[in-house]
A and B are shown apart, each in its own frame.
Chain A
């Protein structure tokens, strides 16, 4: 686990655009769904930054690990907990 000044956990959906945080865990999903996210790159300790918002709805594109954009719906992002935010 990353130690950082800000240890408070918040939901990924509450992370503002442009702010970087680190993934702390995934709560509230079935095991297969959790595994899917992990295998896609949403792993504890990975840095994550919301970059783009979809114009039609509840979908955000995140930069994972400093490289590459992956889009996730808010219904799933809601279950990802992050910590240690800072400006990019």
Chain B
């Protein structure tokens, strides 16, 4: 085989990345291929088998990242792809499997290697990651001895260091030929427990601890965070703190951006007039498209840009499985695995991601239920809407000093409502349409890892920001144009927009809101971020906003359109419980290929939304009568 061949016509060499959850597979993958796959610190985060290419010494390599798994033969949807991928390996050209192990948990990694070696396909290299942490704990690994005992080359690295990745690539490159030429030694073991015994023996031979295990800060933290008394309150406070930071931190940038855009707009209008644009076009562009796009950038973007990195840091820390652990009782009672908590957390970022993440659920019926209930958790876009809503309507009624606190409590309360409804609906679904027997599931609580704060902040800030701005332009621009047209075209003196909203008005009033709100939800099918802009623009039937983003102005617009506290509450409830956005719907169909589940993902949230709105509406009515 020619080492330095680089032309097309020679197939890329295949490299499979195999390893237990949380050994840093994604870090290795990203480092080797230069991609930016986000790595959260909990089991099951990487669910797709991802492909990446890299070139080393003029040879092309195809790196296939297999989802984290405990073993080569397994259970959940995520783990099945590993078995499949390894089986097809046999049929394709010769390849190497990179078995990744955690230096602080060698026995598990060695056990996985042993399992692979029972049915080896292609060559293998054992790559021991997280060597820096092992060193800190006084662990020493004898790589030569290990390599001798396993019969495959072994290398120890710290994946986050670039130089080490080059070392790994070098080893793979030089060993590739040798491995494919010499074949691999099979190691037969009869059963998992035999395999474990062998792994233990090998570990005892090759891994030495040079000092006593250090006091485990992580464990002490865990004891506090999962304690009966303060565990759950701590979680709520933590989350509330993140929300509060988001709200307060977003205020100033929002104001700045609003001012900026408001100042620029007249210049654009004048410019377009001067170059001879027809006034209709100016209307569409400046009052329709520009207003909507700038609104989203000014009002929706800052909270998202703050919340998402903070939340990502929390994920990287490894905190999320502890939340799932704490709340496990609730999931048991709704006949679901605690892993649903993790999918819900993913949904807080983006519901489409949450739906994909439901692959970690242990069986198909639970997976379906998790998918159907996933959009109860407000995604980033809806978050921003809830924060705005509660700040405008409820927060402004509160004294200045507490102005960040009230929206935070509102949103926290709404998330609790969403969680409770998830448990309730999951319970109902698992008892009726998606019966599943009591199953056995284990949840891994990974070690706490210090998140790379700067790197995470910049990566997720840039990723998220770019993505939001991109989507805003793509989706809200045409929608803004459409709204302006509908507001300014009229039939018999009444704007089309008012007519259409009037059509939905009976239903809206029935729900305790109005036709404009229903219309806004319908029109924001492409992306939830645009609900509020659509709504406000529809109210101002001239189709233009006098002042983008000013809370007081918004409040007066809403009050003028007969909004009450009940209306605001119902609007927020409907924000939580309505059909998923278009991206999520497509993802649901892609993931399940089932029209039934797709239909349910639309119907169930709507049903919940309608019921809750009716409760609130009549509840308020009752209060009015009583008081």
B295-349 contacts to A (CB < 8 Å): 321, 325-330, 332-333, 338
- Given A46-B196, A54-B226, do A39 and B325 touch, yes or no (CB 8 Å)? no
Nearest CB to that of B329 among chain A residues?
A57
- Asked whether any CB of chain A lies closer than 8 Å to the CB of B227, the reply is yes
- Alpha-carbon distance A44/B104, docked complex (angstroms): 22
Which candidate, B57-65, B352-360, B440-448, B450-458, is the interface stretch facing chain A? Answer: B440-448
A contact face: mostly helix, strand, loop, or mixed: mixed
Cβ–Cβ contact B231 & A45, under 8 A? no
- Asked whether any CB of chain A lies closer than 8 Å to the CB of B591, the reply is no
- The residue that B71 contacts in the complex, of A32, A33, A39, A54, with Cβ under 8 A, is A39
Cβ–Cβ contact A39 & B74, under 8 A? yes
- Asked whether any CB of chain B lies closer than 8 Å to the CB of A40, the reply is yes
- The residue that B196 contacts in the complex, of A36, A43, A58, with Cβ under 8 A, is A43
Q: How far in angstroms is the closest Cβ of chain B from A37?
A: 6
B520-574 contacts to A (CB < 8 Å): none
Residues of A with C-beta under 8 A to B105: 67-68
Cβ–Cβ contact B108 & A41, under 8 A? yes
Cβ–Cβ contact A56 & B330, under 8 A? yes
Q: Digitize A23-63: 1 where CB-to-B-CB distance is under 8 Å, 0 elsewhere.
A: 00000010011011111111111100001111111110100
Q: How many residues of A contact B (CB 8 A)?
A: 35
- Alpha-carbon distance A20/B121, docked complex (angstroms): 38
Residues of A with C-beta under 8 A to B228: 53, 55
Cβ–Cβ contact A45 & B443, under 8 A? no
Residues of B with C-beta under 8 A to A29: 440
- Asked whether any CB of chain B lies closer than 8 Å to the CB of A4, the reply is no
- Given A39-B192, A43-B192, A69-B445, do A59 and B440 touch, yes or no (CB 8 Å)? no
- Given A57-B328, A65-B107, A71-B325, do A52 and B226 touch, yes or no (CB 8 Å)? yes
- Alpha-carbon distance A61/B442, docked complex (angstroms): 9
- Alpha-carbon distance A55/B228, docked complex (angstroms): 4
Cβ–Cβ contact B445 & A61, under 8 A? yes
Cβ–Cβ contact A56 & B327, under 8 A? yes
Cβ–Cβ contact A54 & B70, under 8 A? no
Specify which of B193, B223, B229 lies most central, judged by the most chain A CB atoms within 10 Å of its CB: B193
- Asked whether any CB of chain B lies closer than 8 Å to the CB of A19, the reply is no
Q: How far in angstroms is the closest Cβ of chain A from B105?
A: 5
- Alpha-carbon distance A37/B192, docked complex (angstroms): 11
Cβ–Cβ contact B445 & A37, under 8 A? no
- The residue that B328 contacts in the complex, of A33, A39, A40, A59, with Cβ under 8 A, is A59
Q: How far in angstroms is the closest Cβ of chain A from B588?
A: 27
- Given A39-B75, A68-B105, A70-B442, do A55 and B326 touch, yes or no (CB 8 Å)? yes
Residues of B with C-beta under 8 A to A43: 192-193, 196
- The residue that A36 contacts in the complex, of B75, B223, B229, B443, with Cβ under 8 A, is B75
Residues of A with C-beta under 8 A to B70: 39-41
Interface residues of B toward A: which range? Answer: 35 or more
- The residue that A67 contacts in the complex, of B74, B104, B227, with Cβ under 8 A, is B104
Nearest CB to that of B223 among chain A residues?
A52
- Asked whether any CB of chain A lies closer than 8 Å to the CB of B439, the reply is yes
Residues of B with C-beta under 8 A to A55: 226-229, 231-232, 326, 329
Cβ–Cβ contact B325 & A61, under 8 A? yes
- Given A69-B445, A73-B332, A75-B438, do A56 and B193 touch, yes or no (CB 8 Å)? no
Q: How far in angstroms is the closest Cβ of chain B from A46?
A: 6
Nearest CB to that of A52 among chain B residues?
B226
B397-439 contacts to A (CB < 8 Å): 438-439
Residues of A with C-beta under 8 A to B163: none
- Alpha-carbon distance A70/B108, docked complex (angstroms): 13
Cβ–Cβ contact A73 & B75, under 8 A? no
- Asked whether any CB of chain B lies closer than 8 Å to the CB of A76, the reply is yes
B164-221 contacts to A (CB < 8 Å): 192-193, 196-197, 219
- Alpha-carbon distance A44/B107, docked complex (angstroms): 15
Nearest CB to that of B218 among chain A residues?
A69
- Alpha-carbon distance A44/B196, docked complex (angstroms): 9
- Asked whether any CB of chain A lies closer than 8 Å to the CB of B73, the reply is yes
Nearest CB to that of B105 among chain A residues?
A67
- Given A53-B228, A56-B232, A76-B440, do A45 and B197 touch, yes or no (CB 8 Å)? yes
Specify which of A37, A41, A44 lies most central, judged by the most chain B CB atoms within 10 Å of its CB: A41
Nearest CB to that of A37 among chain B residues?
B440
Residues of B with C-beta under 8 A to A71: 321, 325, 328, 338, 442-445
- Alpha-carbon distance A9/B332, docked complex (angstroms): 27
Specify which of B104, B197, B227, B445 lies most central, judged by the most chain A CB atoms within 10 Å of its CB: B445
Residues of B with C-beta under 8 A to A76: 440-442
Cβ–Cβ contact B197 & A54, under 8 A? no
Nearest CB to that of A69 among chain B residues?
B445
Cβ–Cβ contact A70 & B222, under 8 A? no
Q: Digitize B59-85: 1 where CB-to-A-CB distance is under 8 Å, 0 elsewhere.
A: 000000000001101110000000000
- Alpha-carbon distance A7/B108, docked complex (angstroms): 27
- Alpha-carbon distance A69/B108, docked complex (angstroms): 13
Residues of B with C-beta under 8 A to A44: 193
A–B complex contacts, Cβ < 8 Å, 8 sampled: A39-B74, A54-B226, A56-B328, A68-B447, A69-B444, A70-B445, A72-B440, A76-B442
Q: Name 18 extra pairs, CB < 8 A, besides A39-B192, A55-B231, A71-B321.
A: A37-B442, A39-B70, A39-B73, A40-B70, A42-B442, A52-B226, A54-B328, A54-B329, A55-B226, A57-B332, A58-B332, A61-B222, A61-B325, A69-B446, A71-B328, A71-B443, A71-B445, A72-B443
Residues of B within 8 A of A (CB): 70-71, 73-75, 104-105, 107-108, 192-193, 196-197, 219, 222-223, 226-229, 231-232, 321, 325-330, 332-333, 338, 438-447
Nearest 8 A/B pairs, CB to CB = A57-B329, A56-B329, A39-B71, A69-B445, A59-B328, A71-B443, A76-B440, A44-B193
